[in-house]
Chain A
Amino acid sequence: MSEPDTHDDHHTPPEDIVVRVKALENLLLEKGLIDLQAMDELIDQYEHKIGPHIGARVVAKAWVDQSFKTRLLADTDAALLEVGAPKNQGEHMVALENTPSVHNVVVCTLCSCYPWGVLGLPPVWYKSEPYRSRIVKNPRDVLSEFGFVVDADKEVRVWDSTAELRYMVIPMRPPGTAGWPEQKLAQLVSRDSMIGVSEALPASFAADSRVP
């Protein structure tokens, strides 16, 4: 990834990131500031338990349950409490509904704010400068690179997460899914559709799409 250190103005060898992290961890352990068991638990939670499947469940429920959807849009925090979504980095949530006339897409241009509670940790592209710099200025170009061409007469609404509010997109329900149960609908709700760089997956993506 990084270029070899070619500077000749000092004699320290190139820093190995692995050594640097291990050194920091050892130092903090010696000082009694960290607990390794708690760290392992936190890693396990975000690597294996908290992820976009939580948001997908929320969206699928909103698709089938109109009163939940109304609550989700009016008071997102209260509605997420009903489904037991984790709150860390999602303490103050706002759900954004895509409609035939409005498409929502979320970014954090200044750092990488992201609704961890419903989507887990963000993908690298979301945190990287190319997405952060371009989505605010040329959203339609960026969306088309993700394979999603937005009609010219539709509003693209870009949300730059500059404060402690965290945003999630409720994509439109795909056609051909009438009568589907929540669990099956949730298979169509991709992470990208809840960031807003794509639509929900078509009905044919569900594992048992031919069986209603």
Chain B
Amino acid sequence: MLDTFFFYAFALLTVAGAALAVTMRSAVHCAVWLIASLLGTAGLFLMQQAEFLFAAQIVLYVGGIMVLFLFVIMLVNLEAAARERQMRKRWPIALAGVLLLAAGLARSLEEGIRLPAPRPAPEAAAGNVQQIATVLFGEYLLPFEVASVLLLVAIVGAIVMAQREDAR
């Protein structure tokens, strides 16, 4: 009963936050609603007893990425950028993208409905963190390391680009 209530509360927060994040006028308000949406997602992770994902979601997205978003939004003069309205010209492409995504989602939803109801996951022996660690550093070690090298390359690239700007 309580679980159902919390599920709908978090789901509402996620969906409404996402909707408001794209419709609000002020960029800071958009960011705040995006934060609300991310917190809702974190809550949904917690409902699935994935405490590690819950904490990581908040630390990384809300604490790291969104604080940087806010930093950039407050630093840059957005009023001038908003007046240009350059995004408006490409709305047919955006609409096509949204429709394609909606079709894909609808298809997978429809497939999901036909599947038998999932059994509840067996009670875990070790904690959630230990399980993730075993899987991440055992079975998926190579993809994990490749992903981190990819991120490192991206960071080095960013630094190189910033440096060039400086040298001029």
Q: Is chain B found bound to chain A in the same assembly?
A: no
